[in-house]
């Protein structure tokens, strides 16, 4: 199941619950806020391999490679690490600030779902992609949780119902150019999102 969307300023006005800045990298070392970018999301303090796709080619002709990142999602801090990793790769790829925030918000929503519902079995795989001479970013978030019942209905519900089940999925779909999801009961869920440089 796939979708395509534009920007939604309302979704970017404030971070989703639990999506606050973690000033540490994956190795636990402090990360200076300089260079991360000042915005409403980042000013807050913190209280398997990628799926095959037509976009899986490496972009030729780049002097500085941007490497795939894998972030295990086992606790709340990992949700922040996934978000920051996606934001940083988006910046390196040349996305404008608004797109960086949108990508980070989508990854935060999906990673938080994986953490809350999978019992620490989730992971996020973040990588640059290249299709038809256009650069982009792809993020796969998957888990081995209980799966999502009534998936089609959840995705079709009103986006404005902020507390309704599946709000994070619908919001992520709205923020990204491409959205794919697979979910099997008692087996887990895999979501793939992509954003392309305009």
CA proximity to 24, closest of 71, 62, 65, 59? 71
Please state the domain count of the chain.
Answer: 1
CA distance 1 to 24: 35
Say which residue the tokens 């807050």 belong to. 44
CB 105 within 8 A of CB 155: no
Instruction: Quote the pLDDT of residue 40.
Output: 34
Q: Is 28 left (phi over 0), alpha (psi -120 to 50) or beta?
A: left
% of the chain exceeding 70 in pLDDT: 62
Instruction: Quote the pLDDT of residue 36.
Output: 30
Instruction: Quote the pLDDT of residue 158.
Output: 57
**Strand spans (E) along the chain:** 2-3, 69-73, 122-131, 134-143, 178-184, 188-196
Residue span of the structural domain in which 67 resides: 2-196
CA distance 100 to 108: 12
- Classified as helix, coil or strand, 73 is strand
**Under 8 Å CB-to-CB from 184, ≥6 apart: which residues?**
147
Instruction: Quote the pLDDT of residue 128.
Output: 97
Strand partners, 140: 125, 192
Q: Residue 182 maps to which CATH number?
A: 3.30.565.10
Instruction: Quote the pLDDT of residue 152.
Output: 83
CA proximity to 95, closest of 198, 191, 25? 198
Instruction: Quote the pLDDT of residue 154.
Output: 78
For residue 86, is pLDDT > 70? yes
Structure pTM? 0.67
> How much is the mean pLDDT over the chain?
74
Question: pLDDT-based confidence at 18, cuts 50/70/90?
Answer: very low
């Amino acid at each position: 199941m796939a979708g395509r969307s534009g920007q939604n300023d309302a979704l970017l006005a404030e971070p989703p619950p639990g999506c606050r800045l973690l000033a540490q990298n994956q190795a636990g070392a402090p990360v200076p806020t300089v260079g991360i970018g000042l915005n409403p999301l980042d000013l807050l303090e913190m209280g398997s391999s990628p799926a095959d796709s037509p976009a899986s080619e490496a972009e030729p002709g780049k002097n500085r490679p941007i490497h795939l990142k894998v972030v295990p999602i086992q606790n709340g801090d990992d949700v922040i690490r996934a978000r920051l990793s996606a934001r940083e790769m988006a910046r390196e790829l040349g996305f404008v600030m608004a797109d960086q925030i949108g990508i980070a918000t989508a990854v935060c929503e999906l990673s938080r779902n994986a953490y809350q519902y999978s019992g620490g079995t989730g992971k996020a795989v973040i990588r640059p992609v290249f299709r038809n001479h256009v650069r982009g970013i792809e993020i796969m978030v998957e888990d081995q949780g209980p799966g999502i019942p009534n998936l089609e209905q959840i995705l079709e519900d009103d986006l404005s119902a902020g507390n309704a089940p599946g709000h994070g999925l619908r919001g992520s779909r709205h923020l990204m150019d491409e959205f794919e999801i697979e979910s099997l009961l008692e087996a887990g869920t895999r979501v793939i999102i992509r954003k392309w440089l305009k």
